[in-house]
Amino acid sequence: MTISVAQPARATAIAPPVLSPVDRVSEVIFGLIMALTFTGTLSVATADRNEVREMLIGALGCNIAWGLVDAVMYLLATMTERRRNLAILREVRRRPGASRAQELIADALPPVIASTMQPAELDVIRTRLEQLPEPPAASLSVGDFRTALGVFLLVFLATLPVALPFAVLHDAHRALRISNGIALVMLFAGGYYLGRHAEAHPWRTGVATLAAGVLLVWATIALGG
């Protein structure tokens, strides 16, 4: 639940439709791994242009499909979270006693923050929530659909740098080496960014993400994915 007492009405039910840095990088890495499962199965020793073309079509088609799935799931998750927020708000208002309302508010907060809140502080939030006007029914906004489009584009566009060498080079072996190099750099860069965002060790996080991505690609190919 996103609790905001500074703004009335819609703030209790609708969070800003913006992907977090972790979500953005995760979508790119996901699309990258899906693309690598196609390029990794190409036999450069025997591949001809038809096989390369089929591989490119398969990789692009797969990421288009998964991008659509991710975008729809984002919209479903957003609607579900907003309905949950409204349900918690109305439950808080229906409770005549402060104790249960405080429990509901504490459960909706991140655990680290909730552990620092005193009953009096939770009661302040409860009082302000009760003073808010009745919010509108949960719905999806134009911004939500723009964010869903962003989810789709992140998954789909992650395919292009990996697939591009096969589209412009006739030597499949050389194209594969360049494609793999681009993929490794992208995996490391994604992990490095996550490390900086978490104020951890970006180089270690980059290497760990790179290793995890390679293992996931290997496992997906081995399992026939």
Q: Predicted confidence band at 44 (pLDDT cuts at 50, 70, 90)? A: low
Report the pLDDT value the prediction gives residue 34, as an integer from 0 to 100. 82
The angle formed by the CA atoms of residues 212, 213 and 214, to the nearest 5 degrees, is: 95
Residue 193 lies in a domain: yes
Per cent of the chain over pLDDT 70 is 84
Higher per-residue confidence, 36 vs 50: 36
pLDDT value for 97: 64
In a domain, 145, yes or no: yes
Q: Is residue 2 part of a domain?
A: no
Residue 143 lies in a domain: yes
Higher pLDDT, 122 or 144: 144
Q: Report if residue 6 sits inside a domain.
A: no
Is there a domain that residue 139 lies in? yes
- What does the DSSP 8-state code read for residue 108? H
3-state secondary structure of 154: helix
- Write out the residue range of the structural domain in which residue 105 sits: 20-222
Rounded alpha-carbon distances, angstroms, from residue 74 to 14, 77, 137 = 14, 5, 19
pLDDT at 3 over 50: no
CB 163, CB 178: distance < 8 Å: no
Sign of CA dihedral 24, 25, 26, 32: positive
What pLDDT, in 10s, does the model give residues 27-39? 888 888 888 877 7
Res 224 pLDDT > 70: no
| Residue 14 resides in a domain | no
5 lies in some domain: no
Confidence of residue 223 (pLDDT cuts 50, 70, 90): low
Predicted confidence band of residue 14 (pLDDT cuts 50, 70, 90)? very low
Torsion sign, CA atoms 171, 173, 177, 182: positive
- At CA 201, angle to CA 196 and CA 202, rounded to 5? 45
Domain count, the chain: 1
